[in-house]
């Protein structure tokens, strides 16, 4: 397996773990703190991580093919 | 005869000259897809705002376990779609196809959990380990039912189209129609599928976690 491909798979796994932790944190924030603002901030962070790591938004302005 | 051949050759060469380079085409495709997704923000954003206008700091009594289960399923589906795209981009055919199929399967499971458990279209009732797994909210239950079914229904429509697209790229992938150099179909489908996940990331807390249950 090439180094680049292994790094890409690793990034996916790390992203999944971060999202899972944030989802559990979200659940506990709702139960314990009941803070709408905090829940909204967590949702924004989760969305930003997916847009950056999974949707590759930077490819829009980067000069490259596949 | 020779003149006809020369003319045909010239036409072909001319057509070739006007062909848009793949890199340019790819950039246009990406921009087009992102503009489409941006336009979808208005649709989902309107539903999101409607929830806060009509429900305020309240929410209907929904099964927290079912909500968390559905969210986790969609999260894993997004991860496998990512793996599928990485596989296609690096010529890892086995990972590409297998992950695409898992992503589609998890998408269907999410859909089933919404339709069978949350919408409870079969009117079932029952508990697992003391947890009520079938929903009781109806579309006719005032603003709570209306907003809940509008939000989850519009999202479910996007899940259906996403699963269909994943199955299309899986089918084409089996026929080896994608290469590491040219796999826009896979990339575009992955971006769309992650977008569906991003929408749910906002819908999940808005429906299940924010506000006081009534």
Q: What is the pLDDT of residues B53-85, one digit of tens each?
A: 999 999 999 999 999 999 999 999 999 999 999
> pLDDT band for position B1 (50/70/90)?
very low
Interface of A with B (CB under 8 A): 2, 4-5, 8-9, 12-13, 15-16, 19-20, 23, 26-27, 29-30, 34, 36, 39-40, 42-43, 46-47, 50-51, 53-57, 59-60, 65-66
Domain boundaries, chain B: 23-213
Domain B23-213 fold: 1.20.120
B201 contacts chain A (CB < 8 A): yes
> pLDDT band for position A1 (50/70/90)?
low
Structurally, chain A folds into a number of domains equal to 1
Q: What is the pLDDT of residues B84-137, one digit of tens each?
A: 999 999 999 999 999 999 999 999 999 999 999 999 999 888 888 888 889 889
Cβ–Cβ of A26/B205 closer than 8 Å? yes
Beta strands B212-213 and B58-59: pairing type? parallel
pLDDT at residue A66 is higher than 60: no
Q: Identify the domain containing residue A34 by its residue range.
A: 3-60
- Report yes or no on A66 lying in a domain: no
pLDDT at residue B37 is higher than 90: yes
Inter-residue contact B67 to B204 (CB < 8 Å):
yes
ipTM: 0.93
Closest Cα to residue B207, out of B113, B67, B44, B42? B67
């Amino acid at each position: 397996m090439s180094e680049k491909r292994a790094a890409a798979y690793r990034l996916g796994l790390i992203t999944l773990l971060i999202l899972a932790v944030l989802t559990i944190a979200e659940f506990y924030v709702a139960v314990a703190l009941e803070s709408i603002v905090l829940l909204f901030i967590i949702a924004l962070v989760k969305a930003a991580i997916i847009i950056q790591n999974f949707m590759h938004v930077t490819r829009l302005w980067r000069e490259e093919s596949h | 005869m020779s003149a006809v051949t020369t003319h045909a050759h010239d036409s072909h060469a001319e057509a070739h000259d006007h062909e848009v380079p793949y890199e340019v085409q790819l950039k246009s495709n990406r921009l087009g897809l992102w503009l489409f997704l941006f336009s979808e923000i208005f649709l989902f954003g309107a539903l999101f705002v409607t929830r806060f206008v009509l429900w305020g700091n309240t929410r209907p009594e929904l099964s927290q376990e079912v909500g968390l289960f559905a969210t986790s399923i969609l999260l894993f589906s997004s991860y496998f779609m990512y793996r599928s795209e990485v596989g296609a981009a690096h010529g890892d055919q086995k990972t590409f196809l297998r992950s695409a199929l898992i992503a589609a399967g998890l998408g269907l499971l999410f859909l089933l959990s919404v339709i069978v458990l949350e919408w409870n279209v079969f009117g079932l009732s029952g508990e697992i380990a003391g947890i009520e797994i079938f929903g009781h909210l109806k579309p006719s239950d005032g603003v709570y039912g209306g907003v809940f079914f509008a939000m989850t229904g519009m999202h479910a429509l996007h899940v259906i189209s996403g699963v269909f697209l994943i199955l299309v790229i899986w089918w084409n992938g089996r026929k080896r129609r994608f290469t590491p150099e040219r796999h826009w179909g896979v990339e575009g489908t992955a971006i769309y599928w992650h977008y569906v996940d991003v929408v749910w990331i906002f819908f999940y807390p808005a429906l299940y976690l924010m506000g006081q249950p009534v």
